[in-house]
Structure 1
């Protein structure tokens, strides 16, 4: 690397960190104003606990979320300043092409992308788990807490021939009602077990069924048996049901990928909400390259109005990108669609814009 590369890279990273350090306190101030009443409701909740269990993880989450935005703003600000100071004119007069000029920017974008990927796949999920636990205990309303604890209309394929269904299951008490288990031979029903209540026993990993009834189907006749209580085992545990209600943001990527694979084998119909989260952890950091090209192309030429015009155009483009990203996440979570295509759609669209601006800037 030449001296000019080190100069651009250093100023680029310093501006990026400065922008990030401005955005995070703003987010914290807004969040405190919204949640101060929730904090004051709990007399036993100390300031240290709020900072350690909530705002430490809040900063990790939003620092990672703001990285692409901070990168985009930093590149526009820094490049526009180079242009206004006629430093870019000196660089181009030295026969440095636009492609060569991008070299230190791409090094900086690569460093940020690597950090963002590591945080998205490993750090942020664990941090989000601790933050959401705090929210459930001290911030969420009683209604929200009940919704998070309850799984409704849950079905699961245990094997090629066995299926279960539970009307409602409480992940805290590990009990539910309206349970049924069906065993098939091809498409022919062999047996069906139903019970009004079901409870999981941690001690011996068994299930207790209350008011149960078993029906077995034979060629000539059916066999029906019933009872008030039955202890039995199934090839699933309460943990499988808890995962169903857990937020995908709380699972590290390895655990999330394993959960998706197991759920596919068990015949869970719509996993797109989990797939969207999994794909987004890679697509958003990769967008750093696309946003860098767009930002450099906008700030490369000196404009009437200076940095303010470039920044206004850049913020408009960033708003459109975030808006399109949110729409693609919602559409990608719909059953029956290709979530990968929808999650990467904003990158495809803005990648085309980046190529156009790049080719135009080269001229």
Structure 2
């Protein structure tokens, strides 16, 4: 299934995007690397569906040759008949787990960078306005607008509080710019207001070079940042974003839960595929494949709907992952029960 559909996906994608690649003068070697990353990324997304259709295709062939009837008539139980499918699903689930946790994140870096460099040129790959970050328990920063190309933040503010949550000082500047050659930050129209008791001390400078305990790109990570991190990096990143009070934390948590749910999805779809295609039908394999494609589209629909709810509203990311799998888990149980009869 992978060998059938991935090349087709590459050709369709090239047909749609080749004009943009030519207009933006994408180098040939970068295009080839991108297509490799595209294959890994898309293959991982569609792997549960490929597994589902593969099981339907294989089992329908057994059923059409009356082999399943012979197996069950010889005294073998339906559960024993399912055992090889579950063993196979286990191998695929383990493969999907390591792909999703360690291989795909690395491919996702090149995939997304190429997309925004050549195919989505001019589009912002991150939030660039009204950016708020909590550096630690006492320091908070804000910029009204961030230019990721020039590495400049405008209307910069930093507030520092003591252990009693009383403001000690506030820094402000017209802009903050990262200077790579000197590895420091440059503040323009710098103002520092320090509060000591009832006194307020104001310090102003036209320009100030200093250092801060954050990186300029950390002000607003790229929208696909969670997809590019492996299992351990993603856990650390989510905890860091929680501490900072990131507004889009749900989208990061959703990526984490989806990776963990993929192996479970492999088992659910395998059981549904066996239950649907193990019975010999008058329409043959075509009826089973048609039903399989319908179920696949419904699964993708539920997955997208609940994923969007988690990203755009206060819906729990955990529930967004559990609900589709729970629904299809009940469907698998019902179909298996009917198939045994």
Tell me the TM-score range normalised by the shorter chain: over 0.9
Sort the Cα spacing of 1:200 and 1:43 in 2 relative to 1 into closer, same or farther, 3 A.
closer
Displacement, 1:290? 0.2
SS in 2 for 1:217: strand
Does the aligned pair in 2 maintain the 1:171–1:241 contact within 8 Å?
no
Alignment of 1:38 with 2:17, yes or no, is: no
SS in 1 for 2:221: helix
Q: C-alpha deviations, 1:46-72, integer Å up to 9, x for none?
A: 3x4422x11111111122222111111
Count the aligned residue pairs. 340
Find the aligned partners of 1:131 and 1:272 in 2 and give their Cα distance: 23
Show the 5 A alignment for 1:164-179: 164-179=141-156
Displacement, 1:179? 0.4
Find the aligned partners of 2:21 and 2:198 in 1 and give their Cα distance: 67
* TM score, norm. by length of structure 1: 0.88
Gaps of 5+ in 2: none
Alignment of 1:331 with 2:301, yes or no, is: no
Show the 5 A alignment for 1:250-329: 250-329=228-307
Aligned to 2:44: 64
Find the aligned partners of 2:264 and 2:12 in 1 and give their Cα distance: 28
Displacement, 1:242? 5.6
Does the aligned pair in 1 maintain the 2:112–2:224 contact within 8 Å?
no
Displacement, 1:246? 5.0
* TM score, norm. by length of structure 2: 0.93
Displacement, 1:95? 0.9
Aligned to 1:136: 116
SS in 2 for 1:212: strand
Aligned to 1:182: 159
Sort the Cα spacing of 1:335 and 1:157 in 2 relative to 1 into closer, same or farther, 3 A.
farther
**CA RMSD in angstroms, aligned pairs only:** 2.0
1:214 to 189, 192, 208: 192
Displacement, 1:170? 2.4
Find the aligned partners of 2:319 and 2:242 in 1 and give their Cα distance: 19
- Higher mean displacement: 325-334 or 214-223: 214-223
Alignment of 1:231 with 2:213, yes or no, is: no
Gaps of 5+ in 1: 1-18
Displacement, 1:168? 1.7
Does the aligned pair in 2 maintain the 1:149–1:172 contact within 8 Å?
no
